[in-house]
Amino acid sequence: MEARFENLLKVIGLQKYSHSGRLGQIPPYLFAEIGRKIEAARKAGVDMISFGIGDPDMPTPAHVVEELGRASRDPRNHQYPDYEGLLAFREAVASWYKRRHNVSLDPVSEVLALIGSKEGSLHLSLAFVNPGDYALVPNPCYTPYRTGTILANGLVHDLPLLEENGFLPQLGKIPKEVVKKAKVLYLSYPNNPTGAVAGMEFYREVVDFANDNGLIVCSDNPYSEIAFDGYRPLSFLEVPGAKDVGVEFNSLSKPYNMTGWRVGMAVGNPEIISAMATVKNNVDSGVFNAIQYAAIAALLRTPDSEIGRLNSVYQKRRDLVWETLNSVGIRTGRPKATFYMWCRVPERHTSASFATLLLEKAGVVVTSGAAYGRYGEGFFRMSLTVPDARLAEAMGRIKDALA
Ligand SMILES: *Cc1c(COP(=O)(O)O)cnc(C)c1O
């Protein structure tokens, strides 16, 4: 049973209105909490360097910003957008998937614009999950899979992501009675927070498992372009039969430094896309058309060399953090993709105690692994979205603090 934080406030008289049971089950949003800690320290005059939130520090490419300017001056773009996205946007997504992954998508029935891919999890849950249905959710994970399920009155079954399994879930270990009541399986590789990647063999197993058990697969793939050492992440939809059992979410946020713009997409199985679109049509009214035109420019007109340049910045940072942490005895992988380092806390520390130590001794903010679920305990996450000079400064401080 999850703690009912908010309703507790009501009971002790600090809050006037009782929240729904759904909201009561949701812990405070991870980054809101970190944000408050940083704010308090900043007010106290501490020079903090935050590796907390995964939010690219580099600017959106100029051609994308220009396109927003142009499109925003066209009065036709000032009216309500089509809730499912401009056809031109959906065509751009389809052509990007074809070029990048050799996946064919029908822009009309197999692509849906999202206001950032985060909202996709809730809308998928509202479309398919009934009270008492399970969602199979990796643990640790990006929290919206879990909270989206809870907000739809669904139940969460944790799939432990363990280091010894390369942070892939063991589908064969899910109890049969849970599988019977499960509706959705969430996956996300390259993975936030662990930086792990998945190969074709794993995805084939996923397709078979979903077919055998009538599951909807949701592959969340916002890091498909952030990769190093020549590695090229797959799309789940590259696997034969994937489109029969699932959808993929993707987003402009990470590859094009567009987190603030709020634009992403769901692609794949037309029946799932159509049900999500029905929910969205009743909740929001789509993405500002001018932003969709800018997104088209990002998808179709960003040279590969630009993505390569951004990746080489992250790769250098990854190597510097890896060397520094190793030199002070902290064990961490050297991820092939994503801008996250998933690191073991030193012995005799918990995730929270070590995050607090880095905060107090080095003025460095990291995320406690436990914030992503209980199987994240014993780890902390560092996001490589910190400008080079500040990152170097932080590495010096960590060395001093832990020497
Ligand atoms: C950043 C991120 C997203 C993208 O979110 P947007 O809402 O598109 O900005 C989705 N999933 C994961 C796992 C992420 O880390």
**Which pLDDT does position 3 carry in this prediction?**
45
124-146 b/e with 16+ CB inside 10 Å = b?
bbbbbbeeebbbbbbbbbbbbbb
Give the Cα separation of 235 and 383 in Å (integer).
23
> Which atom, in ligand 1's list, is nearest to the CA of 120?
7
In the block, tokens 């089509």 appear at 82
C-alpha closest to that of 89 among 73, 62, 69, 67: 67
Task: Give the residues surrounding ligand 1 with Cβ less than 6 Å away.
Answer: 54, 116-118, 142, 188, 192, 220, 222, 251, 253-254, 259, 264
Kindly list the distances between the CA atom of residue 62 and the CA atoms of 72, 115, 195, 257, 262, in Å, as whole numbers in the listed order: 15, 21, 29, 11, 17
- In sequence order, what are the residues at sequence separation of 6 or more whose Cβ sits closer than 8 angstroms to the Cβ of residue 52? 31, 34, 38, 365, 366, 367, 383
Closest atom, ligand 1, to C-alpha of 188: 13
Distance 157 CA to ligand 1 centre (A): 21
Ligand 1 centroid distance, CA of 54 (Å): 9
The CATH superfamily of 2-59+305-402 is Aspartate Aminotransferase, domain 1 (3.90.1150.10)
Backbone angles phi, psi at 295, to 5 degrees: -65, -40
* Total Cβ atoms within 10 A of residue 278: 15
Q: Which of 112, 191, 192 for a ligand 1 pocket mutation test, highest count of atoms within 8 Å of Cβ?
A: 192
**Other C-beta atoms lying within 10 Å of the C-beta of residue 397:** 17
Can you give the residue ranges of every domain in the chain? 2-59+305-402, 63-301
Q: 396 CB contacts (<8 Å, ≥6 apart)?
A: none
- Give the DSSP H/E element, type plus range, for residue 38: helix 30-43
- Provide the pLDDT for residue 248: 98
Residue 109's Cβ-count burial label (10 Å; 0-12, 13-18, 19+) is middle
Query: 288 CA distance to ligand 1 centroid (A)?
Result: 19
| pLDDT score, position 9 | 61
Tokens read off for 63: 């051609």
Any bridge partners for residue 160, and if so which?
139
| pLDDT of the residue at 32 | 56
Hey, how many other C-beta atoms are within 10 angstroms of the C-beta on 107?
Answer: 18
Work out the burial of residue 28: count CB atoms within 10 Å of its CB; fewer than 13 is exposed, 13-18 middle, 19 or more buried: exposed
Beta bridge partners of 113: 265
Ligand 1 centroid to Cα of residue 133, in Å, is: 24
Strand partners, 182: 134
Picking from 234, 244, 236, the residue whose alpha carbon sits closest to that of residue 212 is: 244
- Buried b / exposed e along 63-88 (16+ C-beta atoms within 10 A): ebeebbeebbeeeebeeebbbbbbee
pLDDT of residue 4: 54
The Cα–Cα gap between 50 and 390 comes to 9
d(CA 43, CA 18): 32
pTM of the model: 0.94
Residues 304, 218: contact at Cβ < 8 Å? no
Atom of ligand 1 minimally distant from the CA of 142: 13
Cα distance between residue 203 and residue 187, in whole Å: 10
Cβ atoms within 10 A of the Cβ of 378, count? 16
Query: Ligand 1 center to residue 142 CA distance, Å?
Result: 8
Residues 6+ apart with CB under 8 A from 293: 67, 68, 70, 71, 77, 86, 88, 89
Atom 4 in ligand 1: residue holding the nearest Cα: 117
Distance between Cα 187 and ligand 1 center (Å): 13
Between 3.40.50.620, 3.30.460.80, 3.90.1150.10, 3.40.640.10, what CATH number should domain 63-301 receive?
3.40.640.10
Q: For the chain of 403 residues, list the mean pLDDT of each consecutive stretch of 10.
A: 54 79 79 66 90 95 98 97 96 98 98 97 97 97 96 97 98 98 98 98 98 98 98 98 98 98 98 97 95 98 98 98 97 96 96 89 93 95 98 98 90
